[in-house]
Homo-oligomer: A and B are copies of this chain.
Amino acid sequence: MSKLTIRDIAKMAGVSTTAVSFVLNNKSGVSDATREKVQKIIESTGFTPNVHTRRLNLGKSYTIHVVLRQYSNSLFNQFALETLSGIFTESKFLGYSIVFTFVDDHMDCHQILDSVRGKDCDGIILNQIADPTLLSILQQEEIPFVCVDAHIPKDGSLPLVEVDYYDAAYQATRHLYDCGHRQIGFIGPQTPAEYYMSTFNGYTAALKDMELVCNPNWLAEVPFADADNPTSLEPLFSKPQLPTAFVCAGDIFAISAVRCAKAKGICIPEDISIMSLDDLLVSQYMDPSLSTMTFPKELLGKKAMQLLYKIIMEEPYTPVNLIKTTPILRESVKSI
């Protein structure tokens, strides 16, 4: 891109390369007159120092490697771009570039490692990736990394940024209660276990606080793979006695639930209310639009980058970072 080198600039200004270097890096050691002279030439020529040299000298790449998971079902990718955008904004602010890798469902962790090693980055952000082998290797090799939205245990052993799904499920259940519902079911995934536990525990904790019983007939566990397959909820919606509302552990389940209910002639929200978590982009365009727990998607990325930066800089950091959700009320919940 730029053919000019620091030597050219030095020659043009009649100074040494050292002087130019100092000016470029805003360091002291040059007179104001020299600085100004050099500054002018840099501006007029549009000179930009070669980044590779800089990185070579400093032994730092000023680059973060983001590993993105690519699901076969693109609904799961819904906020990856927003997370990425959050990472980008913060990384720019902190002076880092971003390179990335996409990996699919069945990736080999060595793929990532090679990719990461080859690119020589200062740190890694793993988005929705929880491969234990990979994580332990990263820890062993003391490579700075952060997990985002990975649904791994929040025990503090790994630096992570997660949505507070326990609280989200709790609030969702609570909201239904506040709308007058007393018979509240739960539709959620089986795996990952951490995700299931968070949401289910949030739901049951809320029931308990409101002195409601948890009716096992109103519980449905749908494999993630079937999340957007309405027939997976057939058995649930065929039951003779249904609750007046369901909490869904994710908009994907809510989408299925709405479809399945429709197919069985059950009206949402007239017959049954549905409150879910996530606030996917689709959720506001559905009919009925989904009442759900929303959160700032970009914040996930921003927090992750901030956390990674601290780790890289060897500053103290809080390993577990939870993003709070807030209810967004649309059409799928009716007060009774």
Q: Which of B48, B70, B281 contacts A75 (CB 8 A)?
A: B281
Complex Cα gap A100–B301 (Å): 15
Q: Could you tell me which residues of chain A, from 39 to 65, have a CB within 8 Å of some CB in chain B?
A: 48, 50-53, 55-56, 61, 63
Question: Residue A210 at the B interface, CB < 8 A?
Answer: no
Residues of A in contact (CB 8 Å), total 44
Q: Which of B101, B119, B143 contacts A51 (CB 8 A)?
A: B119
Q: Could you tell me which residues of chain A, from 63 to 95, have a CB within 8 Å of some CB in chain B?
A: 63, 70, 74-75, 77-78, 80-82, 84-85, 88-89, 92
Set of chain B residues within 8 Å of A80, measured between Cβ atoms: 81
Assess the A120–B70 pair: CB atoms within 8 A: no
Q: Which of B50, B88, B120 contacts A100 (CB 8 A)?
A: B88
Assess the B81–A77 pair: CB atoms within 8 A: yes
Question: Residue A160 at the B interface, CB < 8 A?
Answer: no
- In the A-B complex, list the 8 residue pairs whose CB atoms are closest, starting with the nearest: A287-B287, A52-B55, A52-B56, A81-B81, A282-B282, A52-B52, A51-B120, A48-B117
Assess the A98–B100 pair: CB atoms within 8 A: yes
Residues of A within 8 A of B (CB): 1-2, 48, 50-53, 55-56, 61, 63, 70, 74-75, 77-78, 80-82, 84-85, 88-89, 92, 97-102, 117-121, 141, 143, 255, 262, 281-282, 285-287
Q: Which of B70, B97, B141 contacts A99 (CB 8 A)?
A: B97
Closest to A285 in B: B282
Assess the A85–B56 pair: CB atoms within 8 A: no
Q: Which of B74, B81, B117 contacts A1 (CB 8 A)?
A: B117
Complex Cα gap A1–B262 (Å): 55
Complex Cα gap A1–B117 (Å): 7
Set of chain B residues within 8 Å of A63, measured between Cβ atoms: 99
